[in-house]
Structure 1
C-alpha cells in the first residue's frame, strides 16, 4: 500500500499529553509528524534535555521544555525515550532521584532506542512503578515530511489502545507495521539507517550528472525526483522491482549498460553489507546498555 493512501486517511486526535526524554533530531521528526497531521498541539508536548540551550526549537514552537526528566514523567502520559541507548540508565536514575514516593500514575513508554530490547527496558524502568507500559518502535526521520517507515512491537502491559495510538502516530506520516521483536534490529538497519544510504545514492547520481555537464542544483533535484518517482512506482503498482527495472531496460539500450556497470561495481553486495553492518551495530548498542 502506498504511503499516500495511508496519509490521506482521517487522522485521529491524541488526547493524552506527549513527552520526549531527549529532544534530538528523531524526537523533532516524530513531533513534527504528529503536529503537522493535526493529531496534537504543541501545548500537549513536554520535552527534556540536560542542556536547556539544546531545546530552543521546542520552546520556539510552544512545547514545555525542562532540564529535569522527572518533569516529563509527571506531566506526560505517553513518553518517548529518545536518548542514546547508553544514556537511558542515567536518564531513568535522574528521574528517580526526585520522583515523589507516592507516584503511581500509569505511563506508556515508547522506546526508539536502537538495540535496547523490551526485556532491558522493563528492567531499567521497573523502579518507576508497576503501572509502566512499554512499546518499542524503530522509526526513521522521513516521518517529518510524511513519508516515514516504522515498525513496532508491544511489551509489558501495552494495551490494544496503546498499540493503536502509536501505530496511528507513525502511520499518518508514512507506514507502520507491528512485527515480532526479533525483526526490529533488522528493520532498523533497513529503514532506520536506509535514508542515509539513499541520500548517498542521490548524491552519487547527482555527482554523475554534474560530470556529464548538468548544473549541480538541477542534478540534485533530478536525482531526488527520480528516486522519489521510482519509489512511488514500487508502492503504487505492486510490481516486483525486477519487473519495473526490466521495463526501463530496453534490449541493447542505454539503461542495461548502466545496470551492468552497477552490478560490476558490486552495488548489491554493498547494500547487503551496509544493512548487515547497521544491524550488528544495533545489537551491540543493546548489549552495551545492559542494566546493572
Structure 2
C-alpha cells in the first residue's frame, strides 16, 4: 500500500473489532508499515497487540487519516476525543452505520474532509463491498478512502449521501437475507429427508458457488437463471414458487430492501 501521507503522518484506527481488525489486517498485508498505525480501542482483537502497531498510545499530532469504526452508540463519546484534529487536512473516514455526514461536520467542522462508508460483513473475510460518499471538503479524499477500504473488498462511489439508505437496504443488510436463505434452503432439504448437517453443507456451498459464478460470469444473473432452468424440469417447478408475484421473491425482496432503507433513514434522522 503506497501512501506517503499515511506513512509520514500516520493513520488512526478508532475501533478495532471485527470490521476494524479486518481492515487493519488488509492494510498490513498490503505493505502499510505497522509503525504508521495507531489503534484506539479498550479491547482490540488479541492479535493486534503483536502486530507492531501502536495500541492505545498517544496519537500523532497531525494524522493523515482517522478511520472511525466504533459502534454508532459509542459515537457520542468517541467524536469529542478526536475533535481537535478537525479543521485541517486530516481525512475522517467513517464506517459507522446510520451516522450522516452532517453529524461529523458538526463535530469536526464543515471544512474538514469527511468520507462516509457503508461496508458489509463479508469485509471480515476480504469479500465485502463498500459504498462511499463525501462532504464538499472531502471530494478530493475519495481516492485515498477507496484505497484503504479496498483492503476488504470492492468499493463503489455514490452520486451522493441520498443513496446511502438504499445501499444499506441492498448490501449493508443484504448478507442477513442471504444467511436466512441458507437457513431456509437447508430446512427444505431436511424436510425432504436429508440429515441436518448434510443439508446445511449443500445449502452453504450452493449459495457460495452461485454467488461466485454470478460475479465471474459474463452473463447477467437473469441469463444464468435461464441457463439452469430446463423446460418443465425440477428447477422450473421450484422457480414457479419462488417467482410468484404475490408470495415469491419479486414481492418479498423489494419489500425487505424498502423496510431496511426506511429504517436506515429513521436512524439517521434520529
State TM-score, norm by structure 1: 0.78
Counterparts in 2 of 1:154 and 1:229: CA distance versus 1, 3 Å: same
Whole-Å separation in 1 of the counterparts to 2:268 and 2:66:
20
The SS at the match of 1:250 is coil
Out of 120, 123, 127, the residue aligned to residue 143 of structure 1 is 123
Cα deviations across residues 81-107 of structure 1 (Å, max 9, x unaligned)?
A: 1223343233222345xx59xx97631
1:236–1:173 distance in 2 versus 1, CA, 3 Å: same
CA RMSD of aligned residues (A): 2.8
* Contact persistence 1:143–1:170 (CA under 8 A): no
Against the structure 1 CA distance between its residues 286 and 105, is the aligned structure 2 distance closer, same or farther, given a 3 Å change threshold? same
Within the alignment, does 1:65 sit opposite 2:65 as a pair?
no
Higher relative contact order (CA 8 A, sep 6+): 1
Out of 25, 29, 54, which is 1:32 matched to?
Answer: 25
**1:6 equivalent in structure 2:** none
167 and 39 in structure 1: CA distance in 2 versus 1, 3 angstrom threshold: farther
Query: Measured at CA, do residues 195 and 39 of structure 1 come closer, stay the same or move farther in structure 2, by a change above 3 Å?
Result: farther
Q: Which residue of 2 aligns with 1:48?
A: 40
In structure 2, what is the equivalent of residue 91 of structure 1? 78
SS of the equivalent of 1:23 reads coil
Q: Does structure 2 retain, via aligned residues, the 8 Å contact 1:118–1:136?
A: yes
Q: Structure 2 CA distance, aligned partners of 1:117 and 1:197?
A: 24
Task: Describe the shift of the 1:140–1:73 C-alpha distance in structure 2 as closer, same or farther (beyond 3 A).
Answer: farther
Q: Residues 226 and 148 from structure 1, CA distance in 2 versus in 1: closer, same or farther, beyond 3 angstroms? A: same
The residue number in structure 1 matching 2:155 is 176
Assess, with a 3 A threshold, how the Cα gap between structure 1 residues 57 and 232 changes in structure 2: closer, same or farther.
Answer: same
What TM-score does the superposition give when structure 2 sets the normalisation length? 0.83
Q: Indicate how the Cα distance of structure 1 residues 115 and 73 shifts in structure 2: closer, same or farther if over 3 A, else same.
A: farther
8 Å contact kept, 1:33–1:145? no
1:95-134 paired onto structure 2 within 5 Å:
95=82, 106-126=89-109, 132-134=112-114
The CA distance in 1 between the partners of 2:77 and 2:182, in whole Å, is 38
Seen in structure 2, the aligned counterparts of structure 1 residues 261 and 41 have a Cα distance that, compared at 3 Å, is farther
Equivalent-residue separation in structure 2 for 1:72 and 1:219 (angstroms): 50
Q: For the Cα contact (< 8 Å) 2:15–2:68, is it kept in 1?
A: yes
1:1-292 paired onto structure 2 within 5 Å: 12-15=1-4, 16=6, 17-36=10-29, 38-49=30-41, 52-53=42-43, 56-66=46-56, 71-72=58-59, 74=61, 76-95=63-82, 106-126=89-109, 132-158=112-138, 160=140, 162-180=141-159, 181-264=161-244, 265-288=247-270
Alpha-carbon separation, structure 2, partners of 1:60 and 1:72: 19
Residue 21 of structure 2 aligns to a residue whose secondary structure is helix
Query: In 2, are the aligned partners of 1:114 and 1:185 still within 8 Å (CA)?
Result: no
TM-superposed CA distance for 1:157, in Å, is 2.5
Task: Tell me by how many angstroms 1:147 deviates.
Answer: 1.5
> 1:274: Cα distance to partner?
2.0
For the Cα contact (< 8 Å) 2:87–2:108, is it kept in 1? no
Q: What secondary structure is seen at the aligned counterpart in 2 of 1:157?
A: helix
